[in-house]
Structures are given as structure tokens and as C-alpha cells.
């Protein structure tokens, strides 16, 4: 067993179900964590690259559409197209800003977990799990918000359908 021992009095966590004063990781657990760190680093780097490419795509899209000669109504003014560009740009930026924070926390988790394993340091291990907790807490709240929005959209669609059917009667 590796020397990742934890004293309950020194920790911020509670070990009420564990009567043992120490907690140690087995060599197999450490190998699993080492592999988790590698995959988390891979996924987080992939996510950061994706956000970077999205930023570049939005910049390209903004420049391209703002230079377009025709507006939506077919006039020669490009002010209409600039408005559409702004409407498309704002949600994309908001999504990227929302998305980058949990990706960054996942990257921090993977980096710190690797350091904790290499240096056998409990404090770094604890910090890595704090980043993982932030990541999953954020993702959990985000999923609840998205599900609530879906429910509201479904309710709105049902209300719209019923009121449309009642008006056409």
C-alpha cells in the first residue's frame, strides 16, 4: 500500500463509517487514479482546444457576416446582417464562457492528481479532488438548469399548441 494516509483529525472530511485512523490507497487504486488523470487531462485539453477553435470560428463568422453586402431584407445596407451577427455571437460567447470553467477545473484536477501520485502528497491529492468536486458540482447544476429549460419549453409548446387549437375551432 502506498503512503497516502489520512488522519481524520487533520482532514476536513468525515470518516464516521471508517473506524480506522488511517486511509491508504492500494497500488491498484493508484494505477487507476494515474489512468484517470491521463484521460481527464486528454479530455480537458480537447475541450480547451474546442473552445479555442469555437472562438476562432465565431471571430471568422463575425468578420465574414459583418462584411456581407446584403442584409436579410435584401437591401444593400449591411446593418441588418451586423444585427444578426450580434445575435448569433452573444449566445455562442455565453456558451463558451460557461463551458470553459468546468473544463479548466477538470484540467486542474488531472494535473494535480498526477502530481499527488508522483510526489505522494496528501495535500495535493486533496486539492485535486476539490477541483473534481467543483467540476461535477458545476456540471450537475448545469444539467438541472438545462432540464428545467427543457421542461419549460415543453410546457410552452403544449400551451401554444392548445391555444392554437382553441383559436382555430
Where do the domains of the chain lie? Answer: 27-134
pLDDT recorded at residue 96: 85
Q: Which three cell numbers stand for residue 145?
A: 438548469
Taking Cα atoms as reference points, which of 26, 16, 20, 46 lies closest to residue 106?
46
Q: Which three cell numbers stand for residue 70?
A: 446584403
pLDDT recorded at residue 8: 46
Buried b (16+ CB within 10 A) or exposed e, 122-140: bebbebbeebbebbeeeee
Q: For residues 112 and 74, is the Cβ–Cβ distance under 8 A?
A: no
pLDDT recorded at residue 3: 60
User: What are the per-10-residue average pLDDT scores of the chain (169 residues)?
Assistant: 52 51 86 98 97 86 69 51 63 85 97 97 96 98 96 97 89
Q: For residues 128 and 105, is the Cβ–Cβ distance under 8 A?
A: no
* Cα–Cα distance measured from residue 107 to residue 43, given in angstroms and rounded to the nearest whole number: 8
Amino acid at each position: 500500500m502506498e503512503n497516502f494516509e489520512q488522519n481524520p483529525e487533520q482532514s476536513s472530511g468525515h470518516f464516521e463509517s471508517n473506524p480506522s485512523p488511517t486511509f491508504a490507497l492500494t497500488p491498484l487504486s493508484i494505477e487507476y487514479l494515474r489512468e484517470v488523470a491521463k484521460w481527464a487531462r486528454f479530455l480537458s485539453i480537447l475541450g480547451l482546444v474546442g473552445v479555442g477553435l469555437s472562438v476562432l470560428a465565431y471571430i471568422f463568422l463575425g468578420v465574414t457576416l459583418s462584411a456581407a453586402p446584403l442584409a436579410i431584407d435584401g437591401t444593400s445596407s449591411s446593418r441588418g446582417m451586423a444585427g444578426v451577427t450580434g445575435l448569433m455571437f452573444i449566445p455562442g460567447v455565453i456558451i463558451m464562457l460557461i463551458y470553459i470553467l468546468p473544463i479548466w477545473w477538470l484540467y486542474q484536477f488531472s494535473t494535480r492528481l498526477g502530481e499527488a501520485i508522483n510526489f505522494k502528497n496528501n495535500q495535493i491529492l486533496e486539492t485535486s479532488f476539490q477541483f473534481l468536486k467543483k467540476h461535477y458540482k458545476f456540471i450537475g447544476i448545469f444539467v438541472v438548469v438545462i432540464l428545467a429549460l427543457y421542461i419549460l419549453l415543453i410546457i410552452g409548446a403544449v400551451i401554444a399548441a392548445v391555444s392554437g387549437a382553441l383559436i382555430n375551432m
